[in-house]
Amino acid sequence: MNTFRLLLITAYFLFSLQSLIAQSGPDTTDLLAKAEKLMDEMEEEEALETYLSVLDADSENYEALWNASLLYATVGFRLDDEDSQKEYFEKAKELAEKSLELYPDRGHPYYVMAVAKGRMADVVGVNRRIELGHEIEEYVANALERMPEHAPSWHLYGVWQSEVANVSRAERMAARFLSGGLPDGSDEKAEEYLKKAIELNPESIIIRLDLARHFERSGQDDRAINALIEMLELDLPIQTKDDPDFLDDARALLDDLR
């Protein structure tokens, strides 16, 4: 084979290889970087679509699995239609289940499963909500065992403790007829866990708001007022799309308590 023919074959091979690479779409590394950038810009719907594109190329990608699960739960929570919310929460749960199946030794899959089940608890009946309460505790405890410095998990566990410790009378009545009964929750642990989350993420608006909500829920109005005043005086940065609404909620709660 002469040199000229060899060069032509080599050039054709390289051109074909480049075409295949181009047809395969963006590299998952680039897509993950794009999704992270979109999250920083608070473009969560676009970030979700980007993580789903990663999963189209690599269905077992760890970062895409747990982030897409979390975003389905986050975006779904904002929807007005309950049926649409349930659909999003179910997708969040499915992706969390897959991430748990593939990565049982990692922490984020347990966290996003707890989040998905927590969101689902908002759109089901009392009996199922009580059952989910036990499951949420199990998953968030597993998340913290693997990620002891993970502020969102401490936040979730603190809110869980607060809501269980101050459960409605209807749920207490319903729990009497369930074999598992109500899970155990305490106001002391709620405060401890929420303050731990604030220690780990002191600029989070929602964590500080949920601490004030806990004080209000547990009949500690003076402490709720002080927590809200401190939070609003800090002039915390906007970090999520929901933060402006959380600030409005904080001001409204402060007005109600004064």
Residue 112 inside a domain? The answer is yes
Length of the chain: 258
**What integer best gives the mean pLDDT of the chain?**
89
Mark which of 123, 146, 173 sits at the end of a domain: 123
- pTM of the predicted protein model: 0.86
CATH number of the domain that residue 32 is part of: 1.25.40.10
CA dihedral 96, 81, 248, 166 (to 10 degrees): -60
Position 169 pLDDT exceeds 90:
no
Residue 47 inside a domain? The answer is yes
What is the per-residue pLDDT across 244-255, written as a single tens digit (0 to 9) for each?
A: 999 999 999 999
| Six-digit token string for 19 | 């075409």
Residue 194 inside a domain? The answer is no
| Six-digit token string for 230 | 């401190």
Mark which of 78, 95, 123 sits at the end of a domain: 123
Range of the domain at 247: 203-258
pLDDT attached to residue 177: 60
Confidence band, pLDDT 50/70/90 cuts, at residue 180: low
pLDDT attached to residue 24: 40
Confidence band, pLDDT 50/70/90 cuts, at residue 168: confident
Number of folded domains in the chain? 2
Mark which of 108, 123, 138 sits at the end of a domain: 123
Give the angle 10-15-18 at the CA atoms, nearest 5°: 125
Give me the mean pLDDT over the 91-114 stretch. Answer: 98
Q: When comparing pLDDT for 217 and 20, which is higher?
A: 217
Cβ atoms 201, 161 nearer than 8 A? no
pLDDT attached to residue 10: 42
